[in-house]
Amino acid sequence: MSFMITEIDLAKELLAIQDPYFPSINKNIVDTGRVRGINIYNDHVNILIENDKENSTDRTENVKKNIISHLQKKLNLQKISVDTTKYTGQKSEVSQLLKMSQVDGKNKVSDKWNMDSHKLFWHLDRVEAWQRGERIAPLHIDMGISNGCNMGCTFCYGIIQNRAGFGTNQKKIYHMPTYAVKRTFKDAKEIGVRSIALIGEGENTLHPDFYDILEYGREINLDLSLATNGIRLDHNKLDVVLNSLKWFRINISAGTEETFMKIHRVPQMKRVLANAAALSKRKKEINSNCTIGFQMVVTKDNMKDIVPLAKLGKECGVDYLVVKPCSDTYDNRLDSPHGEYIEILETFKEAESFSNKDYTVSIKWKKALNGGWKDYGSFGCHGTQFILGLSGTGNLFPCGHWFNERKDEFIMGNVVEKSFKEIWQSDRYWEVQDKIRKHVNVNKDCESNCRQHYVNRFLAFDGKKSISDIKKNYKDHIDKKPNHVNFI
Ligand code: SF4
């Protein structure tokens, strides 16, 4: 790919544009916080700006025009869109970009697992079928097998969705019957699903048949993985975990016990770290290929813990720490600090410096700098045809966002009552997929930076090109096949 303009190049150019809200003091649109996010996809550039305090449409339109003409002239860009959002009064990430000479594609720490991207490039057969308008099988399912949790993290989307267990009024945890879990695994494999991640709604290790379920996944040769809070791990079953899963990820978002208590709301940090260390040790003993990682969600309360956690991950012997912004509801119910990541861009870089050949600290830069904006807005969401969300109660949805939101409109069926295959073949499944594409506004109705975001961007900007062109344009990238290629 020859297009090498970075977010920094763009931010520098935007400094030349004056904000008309401050005519007398000559302030530019970056410093005033007018520019909220920058999204680049090859030669497509999207700038997110906000209205000013007085909501002046004229001024905002003026800024839009100036951005487009300036970027066309100075950088010879042709595919520019400028979107507008409401006034926030917050600082923006973009001004800080300019201090961050290394926040660009060229100097990033190598992302061995493509965590700040997607893996559709290695499933172009399915993309081609989608291009032909076929009723394709999804490539991946994020699947819950229990609907409750024994932690109550402050950023938990499941709590907003009123999942059961600690942190909500719903105390009785439901575990999906084991026959339904196994039938879903089997059906999924048969129709062409290439991976399942036990993620979502609740804490899946609470399922009474958890290890039996993992073993079944291995028996049928399913690419399976797990995201867990890390509290429950039977040390007599470490080999089952390591032999059944492609990856095992602990969601830990604190580097000290004090923050752990504040964020996760249970005094279990020592136990979680001991579990991570035990699994990592056993992995080396049996030379397992299972990747073990930590994931941190950055909120307003744990920014100072990023570096300490990067250090702890290394000490525990896990393979990586991935740090990501907090996905939020469209009305910001989780109080995600989009505008405050500017305070910590240097911290992100410091955390990355803990990386070495055995341990990677990876920041989801794109999601941290895009202002929470989906630059493919009018294209809509097609990613749910490739990645589905299945709740712990067996309810199948296009994605986890709808588990408790406009549920009746988006539920496709329940895998306890009906087999996954039957649901996938039903007209209802495709009616819901159509509705998602045509009637959901991804910047208004959805959560920010959702799971399907990278896939959606690829489909919007490259998805209509011929497969041979995609292969040609991305040859270098495709040749560098990442690990866990089936977990798109
Ligand atoms: S864009 Fe909306 S509908 Fe599509 S996956 Fe994301 S949250 Fe779900």
Q: How far apart are CA 204 and CA 189, in angstroms?
A: 20
Indicate which residue's Cα is closest to atom 8 of ligand 1.
Answer: 399
CB 433 near ligand 1, within 6 Å? no
pLDDT at 106: 44
459 C-beta closer than 6 A to ligand 1:
no
- Collapsed DSSP state (helix, strand, coil) of residue 414: strand
Instruction: Using the atom order of ligand 1, give the atom closest to the CA of residue 387.
Output: 5
384 lines ligand 1 (CB under 6 A): yes
Q: Across the strands, what pairs with 80?
A: 45
Whether the CB of 382 sits within 6 Å of ligand 1: no
Ligand 1: residue whose CA is nearest its atom 5: 452
Is the minimum distance from the CB of 449 to ligand 1 under 6 angstroms? no
Pocket test residue of 386, 442, 453 for ligand 1, highest count of atoms within 8 A of CB: 442
Residues with Cβ within 8 Å of residue 285, at least 6 apart in sequence: none
**Does the CB atom of residue 222 touch ligand 1 within 6 A?**
no
Task: Tell me the backbone φ, ψ of residue 117, rounded to 5 degrees.
Answer: -160, -155
Going by alpha carbons, the residue nearest to atom 4 of ligand 1 is 381
Q: How far is the CA of 381 from the centre of ligand 1 (A)?
A: 6
Q: Count CA atoms closer than 13 A to 186's CA, side-chain side.
A: 12
Total residues found in the chain within this entry? 488
Whose alpha carbon is nearest atom 2 of ligand 1?
Answer: 446
**Cβ(198)–Cβ(184) under 8 Å?**
no
What ligand 1 atom has the least distance to the C-alpha of 381? 4
What distances in angstroms separate CA 105 from CA 101, 109, 116, 321, 423, one per listed residue? 11, 9, 11, 19, 41
To which H or E segment does residue 325 belong?
strand 320-325
State both tokens at 119: 């893996």
Ligand 1 within 6 A of CB of 452: yes
What pLDDT sits at residue 379? 95
For residue 342, the model assigns a pLDDT of 56
CB of 436 closer than 6 A to ligand 1?
yes
Output the CA 450–ligand 1 centroid distance in Å: 6
Q: Residue for token digits 């290629």?
A: 485
Q: Is the CB of 263 under 6 A from ligand 1?
A: no
381 in ligand 1 pocket by Cβ < 6 Å?
yes
C-alpha 445 – ligand 1 centre gap (Å): 8
Confidence (pLDDT) at 104: 44
Q: How far apart are CA 120 and CA 130, in angstroms?
A: 12
Interatomic CA distance for residues 204 and 324, integer angstroms: 22
Amino acid identity for residue 183 in this structure:
R
Q: How far is the CA of 442 from the centre of ligand 1 (A)?
A: 6
CB 206 within 8 A of CB 232: yes
Ligand 1 midpoint to CA 324 (Å):
18
Instruction: Determine the 3-state secondary structure of 42 from DSSP.
Output: coil
Instruction: Record the tokens describing residue 407, joined without a space.
Output: 């549920």
* Tens of pLDDT, residue by residue, the chain (488 residues): 445 787 778 888 999 999 999 888 888 998 888 998 888 898 899 999 999 989 899 999 999 999 999 999 998 888 999 999 989 877 777 766 665 544 444 445 556 777 778 999 999 999 999 999 999 999 999 999 999 998 888 888 777 777 888 878 778 899 999 999 999 999 999 999 999 999 978 899 999 999 999 999 999 999 999 999 999 999 999 999 999 999 999 999 999 999 999 999 999 999 999 999 999 999 999 999 999 999 999 888 898 999 999 999 999 999 999 988 776 666 666 666 655 555 677 788 889 899 999 999 988 777 767 878 899 999 999 999 999 999 999 999 999 999 988 999 999 999 999 999 999 999 999 999 999 999 999 999 998 888 899 999 999 999 999 999 999 999 999 998 888 999 99
